Structure 1
Amino acid sequence: MRLDSLTRDQIRAFAGAKIFERGEEYLTSELVNELDIDSEGIVTAKVEGTDTYEVEVWEEEDDVGAVCDCPYDGHPCKHVAAVLLAYLEHSAKQRKAKTKQPKAKESASGGKSAGSLKANLKRCTHTELVELVLEGTKGNKDFERKLMLRFVPDSKKTLTTLLQQVKTVRLKVSEYENYYSSSCRKAAREFKAILKVLTDAPPEVRVEVRFAVADRILPFLNEYGFSNEPLETALELALTELVKDVATPEFQPQRDQIIKWMRRYHDKGNHGMTDELLACLLELSATEEELRDTIHWLEKKGSWSSYYRKLIAELYAKLGDEEAELAALSKNLEGMPDHWRLAEFWTKQGAADKALKTCWDGVQRGKGYSEELFAFLREDCLRRDDAEGLFTLLVEHLKRPYGGWHVEQLSASRRMLYRESSSSGDFLQEHELLRDRLHKQGDTAGLVRLYTLYLNPLKVSLSLYQEMEHLLPEPERGAITEKVLGHLKQKIGKDTWGSSPERRLLAEIYAHGKHWDALLDLVKNDFDLLAHYKDRLAPLHPHVYLEAYTKEVEKLINGRGRSNYRAAAEHLLEIREFYERHLNQSRKWLVYLEELKRANLKLRALHEELGKVRL
């Protein structure tokens, strides 16, 4: 759904029939006021109801987002529906006006007639033009700012006016309790509009106004502990340009003031912008005095921190102090990333042996994870054709948290971490290198040794299981796959309820082997897993699925809430399929649906969701 192609049917589907009707009532009663569409296409309006509510609508990817500050728990509310309908009406009027607009007559020379805007303006007197311009500034702060900066850029009055506009942007805590507050987005837009006109302003005006914007937003976020994307984006814009503004020597006093201000709020750290502030502080540190002062500040904050030690080492590198850089890199050498940074230092110094020893120390004793360490050692093993080294490296890799799990079993963040660790995206590179080498050599004992590494603790995936089946001959194949199944069953234990990685993997293995009865027995008490294998199991066991889905629908309806009703409606479509397609009992389906509707007659939102899926 997009704003530029919005239709009444789309609004009805988005809001539900009842909310849509209430929105229409509000529109026809002329309760939607101050409809506005800004330069970014964001629609805002005020809707009169029990109170005056502010609504904001915008596009996000291929959908429409909306917020309203009314107390209604559902989404969207009738006020949002009313504004969408008002926007639709406004757009229709705009299109109609354009089609009725007479075409400008062409002159004999082919140019535009005297009726064109440009020609009409040229005929205006100076006084008339001044009046037009002044009229255009009414209610248009952006235009007013542009005029001030163009005609009186050095005026103290201009600076005072801009600073006053920054000061009067409405920031009030009660309005920001909702992360998606329309008031919050409005404040951010006002700040951005002020920042936007500063491009052509004198440097001293840019510095003062940008700092004023930052000094409005950051204390507010810090005082109330808010994390708010619109305000944070406006703050980042102000800080990024402010750092550039004060980079020259003539702004040294302002730079000193800004550095102190940033450090103070970085130390407070109740605002979610500490990383951005630290990045700005490092960029602002240019002279030797500033670099050493920043190092001293970081050391006081905590030289025990791996992250701060990294920054301190980088600052010493900027100063060209290799001895101090080495001392910072060598201090509290605990994590794998710490070892990698030290190894990089030795590599730059041409001390390859020290770099190699540091990497092995990091892999075997370091905490955390660093793919760079493994890659460095892996390349060294390949250069020396060292298979035992690869085995050792794989063993260490598998000791890492989640190390060795198939990529599909990892969280999104872990997938990103391991993405570069495998050329195929499935396994760690040490595994792939050893597997290909051993298979090519026909070394069955070596392959068994390789796969045994994944058994204790169990770190097997479906892809690894399939690889074992494919590469190992009998009896080795049967022996190791039985061990895998035994480990999985032992992990699952006697508890037949609840999903787990082991249960999901065993289900995948059963499905891969087409062991349908075993699969059903494993997943029948786990609705999510049961639903996952619906296409394979429902035709074989429709009664099991019918019972599970009807219980789930009942649970969702009893849980109340539109999201639950929406999920229940989707499940009812599946129940219809079980009755009609698998059981050939269309009549029973109609009876079931009618009884369900009658039992929940007062749940208006449920009936709206059923209507959306044509039930």
Structure 2
Amino acid sequence: MHLESLRREDVMELADSAQIFHQGEEDRESGAIYQCSVSPSGILAKVRDKQGDWTVAIDNSTETLEMDCDCPYKGYVCQHMVAVLLLYIEGGDEKIEPLEPDANTPEALKQTVSAMSHQQLVELVLGLAEEREEVMRALLAAVEVPSEIIQQQPQNLQKVTQIKGEIGLFFEKLPELAQGEAGSEWEQILAVTKLLNPSDQLEVLGYGIAYGNETVGDFPDIGPKIEQAIAHFATAAVLLSPHQEEKREYLNALIACLDWPMCRYPHIADAVKNALETICTVPADYRYLISYLASSKRPEAAELIPRYYLILGDDANYLRYRQENLDTEAEYLELAEYWKQKGNQGKYLETLEAWILHLLRQEQELGAGLSWFYPTAALERLGILPFLVQPYQTQLNEQNLYRILLALAEQKPVTLELYQQIETLATRSGKWPKLQQILLERGAENPQELAKIHMSEENWTAAIQLAKSHLDSPAIAIMVAESMRLKNPQGAILIYQELVQGYIDQKSRDKYRAAADCALAMKSIYLDILQDRETWQQYIDSLGSRYQNRRALKEEFQALLV
């Protein structure tokens, strides 16, 4: 999961409990977030509540979101993280006006530092950086050393040996390091490495990449760290070898890396391909790669050669090569996108149709029973689907269209996206009722997606029935209840009541706590949405009288009585 695809329902599931989620909502709505910085790599925010000021960091560069908050909460996802995620979803970070920072620097210190000479300040900063690691890290992060200075640095075998030792130690103790701690140590190693002579950088980074290649199979989470090292390797290669002939050694080395086990992870393979383009600073570099890939018959050739032709602006050779190497879905879609960018709608549709006909021919050759050969991504994109219903005079008639949609409905995992896309096409051709029935029946295999389908259509009866039949999976029931709390608050209350009762019946402290979280969500609906304190009070009083002898339950529910 990444920030770009995050939804409110995802935040509900990430939150440690319904109570934490609602506390995060309150923090978001009360303006507790007073600083927020968003970038492609993540979010850094400041949140202020009655207990103090807290820093929330969300890393978006890994396979899954990594989140951290320095508040004392002992769980995984606290209310402050929830508040920041909700703010991001709402796109409200630009509206935040940072509070004036507290004047924590004593006036006497300001006056003393202001009076120091340039040399004294330099000695002070460098001295602190030598003595305190956190100062060194802050300095390395804040100062961008010019490439001219990097190139002037002498080679330092002793420093290279030291950093390689630190890399080896890092990978050896990786099983003991927490995710955040590992990231911090690796950042420090890379920051120091980037200050070396480019030749030394290449030796250190090459060592780190090779070590990572041996380790990533056991620790896939280090993938982003290997990607960082690969990117820095390419930058150092450009600094060291600005001329094309000298760069070939590093281009060849990176292409060889594509055979390493680490490149079985797509993000690492992509990092290597990006590094190749970093090193290619002139057209001759790309022409060398095209020649090398073509002669070596590497499997990446069909992907990279046409891309390099496009970068060079050589449309004629791009079209020649792509037409000669046109077999997979990705290749058809790439060619279709080329025509779309050129504004040639006819060629765009013609290419997409050719892909569908290609698959239909495969079906005829391999047997009608192999319906899983029907399109996947090509038919799952709303930008591509509509052309199928155009009145083309080809084999792709209405009957073929229905067969394709039927195969998708019967074979593909049912998701809300697939459901809506098939509905779009099937409704136009009058085939939707039959396909809808198939999708809803198969949706039972994935109740979470089925719940989303019911909620998108505001079929509250079906959604409530589904939630009540999956009370053993509270995440589904809570997702349904939260999604309907505004449009169908009584339905949401009904689900929460079932959850509360189910938790109470299990008679344990942690289940009582979960019951209290759900009851708190109900309280919010009664008081904030329905404005019905009386009915809420009757409900909570009824629980109190029925379970008056359960002390642990009463303790967990005590906060709800306020």
TM-score by length of 2: 0.55
3-state SS of 1:279 partner = helix
Aligned equivalents of 2:348 and 2:340: distance in 1? Answer: 6
The verdict on how the C-alpha distance between 1:136 and 1:348 changes in structure 2, with shifts beyond 3 A counting, is closer
2:23 corresponds to: none
1:102 positional shift: 7.2
2:377 corresponds to: 369
The verdict on how the C-alpha distance between 1:165 and 1:137 changes in structure 2, with shifts beyond 3 A counting, is farther
Aligned equivalents of 2:536 and 2:271: distance in 1? Answer: 58
The answer to whether the 8 Å contact 2:309/2:315 transfers is: yes
The verdict on how the C-alpha distance between 1:378 and 1:538 changes in structure 2, with shifts beyond 3 A counting, is closer
The answer to whether the 8 Å contact 1:344/1:355 transfers is: yes
> Among 259, 269, 276, which residue is 2:271 paired with?
276
Q: Which moved more, 1:95-104 or 1:184-193?
A: 95-104
3-state SS of 1:60 partner = strand
Q: Which moved more, 1:320-329 or 1:586-595?
A: 320-329
Q: Deviations 1:539-579 (Å, cap 9, x if unpaired)?
A: 58988864553114555958x5xxx7764431132577699
The answer to whether the 8 Å contact 2:231/2:271 transfers is: no
2:192 corresponds to: 194
1:293 corresponds to: 292
Aligned equivalents of 2:499 and 2:355: distance in 1? Answer: 51
1:228 positional shift: 2.6
Write the letter of the residue equivalent to 2:191.
A
TM-score by length of 1: 0.51
Write the letter of the residue equivalent to 2:517.
E
1:550 corresponds to: 501
Q: How many residues are paired up? A: 438
* Higher RCO (Cα < 8 Å, 6 or more apart): 2
The answer to whether the 8 Å contact 2:251/2:276 transfers is: yes
Aligned equivalents of 2:454 and 2:513: distance in 1? Answer: 31
1:311 corresponds to: 304
The verdict on how the C-alpha distance between 1:387 and 1:352 changes in structure 2, with shifts beyond 3 A counting, is closer
The verdict on how the C-alpha distance between 1:456 and 1:282 changes in structure 2, with shifts beyond 3 A counting, is farther
3-state SS of 2:332 partner = helix
1:238 positional shift: 0.8
In the alignment, structure 1 residue 163 sits paired with structure 2 residue 157: no
State the Cα RMSD in Å: 6.1
Write the letter of the residue equivalent to 2:353.
W
Aligned equivalents of 1:217 and 1:556: distance in 2? Answer: 53
Aligned equivalents of 2:490 and 2:386: distance in 1? Answer: 49
> Among 416, 419, 429, which residue is 1:409 paired with?
416
1:599 positional shift: 6.6
The verdict on how the C-alpha distance between 1:265 and 1:566 changes in structure 2, with shifts beyond 3 A counting, is farther
Aligned equivalents of 1:583 and 1:58: distance in 2? Answer: 36
- The runs of 5 or more residues in structure 2 that have no matched partner are 1-18, 21-42, 46-53, 60-65, 79-100, 360-374, 527-531
3-state SS of 2:433 partner = coil
The answer to whether the 8 Å contact 2:504/2:515 transfers is: yes
Aligned equivalents of 2:253 and 2:274: distance in 1? Answer: 14
The verdict on how the C-alpha distance between 1:312 and 1:340 changes in structure 2, with shifts beyond 3 A counting, is same
Aligned equivalents of 2:129 and 2:454: distance in 1? Answer: 70
3-state SS of 1:101 partner = helix
Aligned pairs for 1:476-515 (under 5 A) are 491=441, 499=447, 505=453, 511=459
> Among 411, 419, 431, which residue is 1:453 paired with?
431
Q: Deviations 1:493-522 (Å, cap 9, x if unpaired)?
A: 9x9x9837567656776847xxx6x87666
Aligned pairs for 1:207-606 (under 5 A) are 207-225=199-217, 226=219, 227-228=221-222, 231-232=225-226, 234-245=228-239, 248-249=242-243, 252-253=245-246, 255-270=247-262, 272=265, 273-282=268-277, 284=279, 286=285, 288-297=287-296, 299-300=297-298, 302=299, 308-315=301-308, 326=320, 329-331=323-325, 333-341=326-334, 358-366=351-359, 367-370=375-378, 395=402, 398=405, 401=408, 409-410=416-417, 428=424, 450=428, 452-458=430-436, 491=441, 499=447, 505=453, 511=459, 524-527=468-471, 528-529=476-477, 531=481, 539=490, 546-554=497-505, 567-574=514-521, 581=535, 584-591=538-545, 595-598=549-552
The answer to whether the 8 Å contact 1:542/1:583 transfers is: no
3-state SS of 1:98 partner = coil
Aligned equivalents of 1:281 and 1:500: distance in 2? Answer: 42
1:267 positional shift: 0.9
The answer to whether the 8 Å contact 1:169/1:187 transfers is: no
The answer to whether the 8 Å contact 1:347/1:355 transfers is: yes
